[in-house]
Chain A
Amino acid sequence: MRDTWQDFIKFFTSLKLTVVLLALSIVLIFWATIAQVQLGIWGVQEQFFKTFFVLKKIPGTEIPVPVFPGGYFIGGLLLINLIAAHVYRFRFTWAKSGIQLTHAGLILLLLGELFTGLWQEDYQLRLDVGQAKNYSESFRDQELAITDKTDPDFDDVVVLPDKLLAHRGAVQHSTLPFRIVIRDYFPNAVPQSRDQVPANAGLPQATMGFGRDFTVIPLPLSYRQDQSNLAAALVELIGPGGSLGTWLLSAHPFVRPQPFEYDGRHFELSLRFARNYKPFSLTLLELRHDVYPGTDIPKNFSSRVRLSQPDAHADREVLIYMNNPLRYGGLTFYQYQMDSASGYSVLQVVRNPSWMLPYVSCILMMLGLLIQFGISLFRFTGKRRAAVGAANTATATPAATAA
Chain B
Amino acid sequence: MKRFLPLLALALGALWLASSLAPRRADPDYDLEGFGRLPILANGRIKPIDTVARSSLLQLQGRQRVSTGSGGSLSPNAWLATVFFDSARADRLRVFEIVHPEVLTLFNLRPEDGDGKKRFSFVQLSGRFPELMRQSQLAQQTESAQRSAFQRAVIQLHLNLNLYHELRHTLTAPESDDFLGELLRFQDTLPAGIAAVRARQAGEPYDQASFDAMLAGGQRYDALSTASSLRPIPPSARAHASAIADADAAANTTGAAPTAAPAAAAPAPSTPALANASASDWRSTGMALLETFETGLVNHNVLAYAGLAHAWRAQKPEQFNEVVRLFRAQLGTDFAPELRKTDIEARFNAAQPFYRSMVLYVLAFVLAIISWLRWPEALGRSAFWLTLLAFIATSAGIATRMWLEGRPPVTNLYSSALFVGWGAVLLCLVLEALFKNAIGSVAGGLIGFAALLIAHHLSLSGDTLEMMRAVLDSNFWLATHVIIITIGYSATFLAGFLALIYIVRGAFTRSLDKPTADALSRMVYGIVCFATLFSLVGTVLGGIWADQSWGRFWGWDPKENGALIIVIWNAIILHARWGGLVRQRGLMCLAVFGNIVTAWSWFGTNMLGIGLHSYGFMDAAFWWLSAFVLSQLALIATALLRPLRISSKSPHT
CB–CB B537/A366 < 8 A: yes
User: Could you tell me the distance between the alpha carbons of A336 and B561 in the complex, rounded to whole angstroms?
Assistant: 22
The reply to whether A36 and B611 contact each other, CB–CB distance below 8 Å, is yes
Q: How far is the CA of A113 from the CA of B539 in the complex (A)?
A: 14
Let me know if A399 and B653 touch, CB within 8 A. yes
Which residues of B have CB within 8 Å of A273?
Answer: none
Contact among A122, A323, A403 for B653, CB-based, below 8 A: A403
> Bound complex: CA of A370 vs CA of B537, how far in Å?
11
Does more than half of chain B's interface fall in helix, strand or loop, or is it mixed?
A: helix
Min CB distance A320 to B, Å, is: 11
Contact of B549 among A41, A298, A322, A361 (CB under 8 A): A322
> By the criterion CB–CB under 8 Å, are A359 and B469 in contact?
no
What sequence of 0s and 1s flags, for each residue 368-389 of chain A, a beta carbon within 8 Å of any chain B beta carbon?
0110110011001100100000
CB distance from B237 to the nearest CB of A (A): 19
**B405: CB under 8 A from chain A?**
no
- Complex: A334 Cα to B551 Cα, angstroms: 7
**B522 in the interface, Cβ–Cβ < 8 Å?**
yes
A25-33, A180-188, A205-213: which one contacts chain B? A25-33
| B611 contacts A295, C-beta separation under 8 Å | no
Whole-angstrom distance between the alpha carbons of A334 and B609 in the complex?
Answer: 25
- B635 beta carbon closer than 8 Å to chain A: no
Q: How far is the CB of B522 from chain A (nearest CB, A)?
A: 7
Question: Which residue from chain B places its CB closest to the CB of A302 in the assembled complex?
Answer: B470
- In the complex, the answer to whether A358 meets B473 with C-beta atoms within 8 Å is no
A396 at the interface (CB under 8 A from B): no
Q: Are B41 and A294 in contact, with the CB atoms below 8 A?
A: yes
Chain B residues closer than 8 Å to A362, beta-carbon distance: 537, 540-541, 544
**Given A41-B556, A293-B44, A295-B467: A122 in contact with B229 (beta carbons within 8 A):** no
Q: Which of B107-115, B263-271, B329-337, B571-579 lies at the interface?
A: B571-579
B558 adjacent to A33 (CB under 8 Å): yes
- Which residue in chain A gives the minimum CB-CB distance to B513? A403
- State whether the Cβ of B217 lies closer than 8 Å to any Cβ in chain A: no
Say whether A41 contacts B557, CB under 8 Å: yes
A295 and B547 contact, CB distance less than 8 A = no
Please state if A22 and B568 are interface contacts (CB–CB under 8 Å): yes
The chain A residue sitting closest to B515, CB to CB, is A403
Q: Which residues of A contact B545 (CB under 8 A)?
A: 323
B578 touches A350 (CB 8 A): no
Known contacts A297-B44, A369-B532, A373-B533; decide if A323 and B477 are in contact (CB<8 Å).
yes
Residues of A near B436 (CB, < 8 A) are: 401-402
Answer yes or no: A398 CB below 8 A from chain B CBs: yes
User: B122 in the interface, Cβ–Cβ < 8 Å?
Assistant: no
Asked whether A23 is an interface residue with its Cβ less than 8 Å from the other chain, the reply is yes
Q: Does A259 contact B (CB under 8 A)?
A: no
Q: A262 to chain B: closest CB distance in Å?
A: 42
Contacts of A113 in B (CB 8 A): 553-554
Interface 0/1 of B463-478, CB less than 8 Å to A: 0001101110110010
Q: B564 at interface (Cβ–Cβ under 8 A)? A: yes
Q: B540's contact among A49, A293, A300, A361, by CB below 8 Å, is which?
A: A361
Pair B145/A37 contact, Cβ less than 8 Å? yes
CB atoms of B547 and A355 under 8 A apart: yes
Contact B532 A301, beta carbon cutoff 8 Å:
no
The reply on A258 being an interface residue by CB < 8 A is no
Q: CA of A122 to CA of B529 in the docked complex: distance in angstroms?
A: 38
Q: With an 8 A cutoff between CB atoms, is B136 at the interface?
A: no
Q: In chain A, what residue has the closest Cβ to B484?
A: A366
CB distance from A378 to the nearest CB of B (A): 12
**A334 contacts across to B, CB distance below 8 A:** 549-551
Q: B231 interface residue, CB < 8 Å from A?
A: yes
- Give a binary string over A1-41; 1 marks a CB under 8 Å from any B CB, 0 the rest: 00000000000001110110011011001101110110001
Interface check B282, CB cutoff 8 A: yes
- Of B42, B556, B557, most A-chain CB atoms within 10 Å: B556
Q: Does B551 contact A19, Cβ atoms closer than 8 Å?
A: no
Instruction: Assess the B562–A33 pair: CB atoms within 8 A.
Output: yes
A366 to B480, CA, bound (A): 13
Known: A37-B608, A403-B515, A403-B650. A384 touches B569 (CB 8 A): no
Q: A33-B608, A369-B537 are in contact. Are A293 and B231 (CB under 8 A)?
A: yes
Contact A376 B529 (CB under 8 A): yes
CB neighbours of B15 from chain A (8 A): none
Interface of chain A residues 284 through 298 with chain B (CB within 8 A): 291-295, 297-298
Q: Is B408 an interface residue (CB 8 A)?
A: no
Contacts of A350 in B (CB 8 A): 551-552
Contact with A along B511-527 (1 / 0, CB 8 A): 00101100000100010
Decide yes or no whether A325 CB sits under 8 A from chain B.
Answer: yes
Given contacts A358-B547, A365-B536, A399-B652, contact A32 B522 (CB under 8 A): no
Considering only CB atoms, which chain B residue lies closest to A14 in the complex? B579
Task: Please name all residues of chain B whose beta carbon is closer than 8 Å to the beta carbon of A34 when the two chains form the complex.
Answer: 608
The answer, yes or no, to whether B633 is at the interface (CB within 8 Å) is no
Chain B residues positioned under 8 Å from A109 (CB to CB)? 540
Q: Is residue B543 contacting chain A, with contact meaning CB distance below 8 A?
A: yes
Residue ID in chain B nearest A321 by CB atoms? B470
**0/1 interface trace, chain B 601-636, chain A, CB 8 Å (1 if under):** 000010011110000000000000000000000000
Cβ distance A36 to chain B, nearest Cβ, rounded Å: 6
Q: Report the bound CA distance from A48 to B561 in whole Å.
A: 13
Which residues from 564 to 611 on chain B have a C-beta closer than 8 Å to any C-beta of chain A? 564-565, 568-569, 571-572, 575-576, 578-579, 581, 597, 600, 605, 608-611
Kindly state the separation between the CA atoms of A32 and B328 in the bound complex, as whole angstroms. Answer: 57
Residue A44 lies at the interface, judged by CB distance under 8 Å to chain B:
yes
B376 close to chain A: CB less than 8 A:
yes
Contact indicator per residue, chain B 277-308, by CB within 8 Å of chain A (1) or not (0): 00110101000000000000000000000000
Distance from A46 Cβ to chain B, minimum over Cβ atoms (Å): 11
Chain B residues with CB under 8 A of A33: 558, 561-562, 605, 608
Bound together, the chains give a CA A299 to CA B529 distance in angstroms of: 38
**Distance A291 CA – B558 CA, assembled complex (angstroms):** 27
Cβ A22 vs Cβ B575 within 8 A: yes
From B477, B516, B551, contact of A332 by CB (8 A): B551
**Cα distance, A19 to B282, chains bound together (Å):** 59
> Which residue on B lies nearest to A358, using beta carbons?
B553
| A45 interfacial contact with B, CB 8 Å | yes
A116 near B: Cβ within 8 Å? yes
A325 CB contact (under 8 Å) in B44, B284, B548: B548
Q: Residue on B with the closest CB to A102? A: B536
- Could you tell me if A15 and B610 are in contact, using CB atoms closer than 8 angstroms? no
Q: Would you give the shortest CB distance from B66 to chain A, in whole angstroms? A: 25
Q: How far is the CB of B179 from chain A (nearest CB, A)?
A: 22
Contact between A323 and B549 (Cβ–Cβ < 8 Å)?
A: yes
Contact (Cβ within 8 A) B467 A399: no
The reply to whether B229 and A49 form a contact with Cβ atoms under 8 Å apart is no
A100 in contact (CB, < 8 A): no
Contact A22 B572 (CB under 8 A): yes
Inter-chain contact B43/A30, CB cutoff 8 Å:
no
Q: Is B127 an interface residue (CB 8 A)?
A: no
Task: Let me know if B377 and A402 touch, CB within 8 A.
Answer: yes
Question: Is B530 close to A, CB under 8 A?
Answer: yes
Residues of A within 8 A of B571 (CB): 22
Q: Is A32's CB under 8 angstroms from B561's CB?
A: yes
From A36, A112, A403, contact of B610 by CB (8 A): A36
Q: List 23 A-B contacts (CB under 8 A).
A: A26-B565, A29-B565, A30-B561, A32-B556, A33-B608, A36-B608, A36-B610, A113-B554, A116-B552, A120-B552, A294-B42, A295-B229, A297-B466, A298-B470, A321-B470, A322-B470, A323-B549, A358-B543, A376-B529, A380-B522, A401-B436, A403-B513, A403-B652
Interface residues of A (CB under 8 A from B): 14-16, 18-19, 22-23, 25-26, 29-30, 32-34, 36-37, 41, 44-45, 48-49, 109, 112-113, 116, 120, 122, 291-295, 297-301, 321-323, 325, 332, 334, 336, 348, 350, 355, 358-359, 361-362, 365-366, 369-370, 372-373, 376-377, 380-381, 384, 398-403
Q: A293-B231, A358-B540 are in contact. List 19 more A-B contacts (CB 8 A).
A: A15-B575, A15-B579, A16-B579, A18-B575, A29-B568, A32-B561, A33-B608, A34-B608, A37-B610, A297-B469, A325-B549, A325-B551, A350-B551, A365-B536, A373-B533, A376-B529, A381-B434, A401-B436, A403-B652
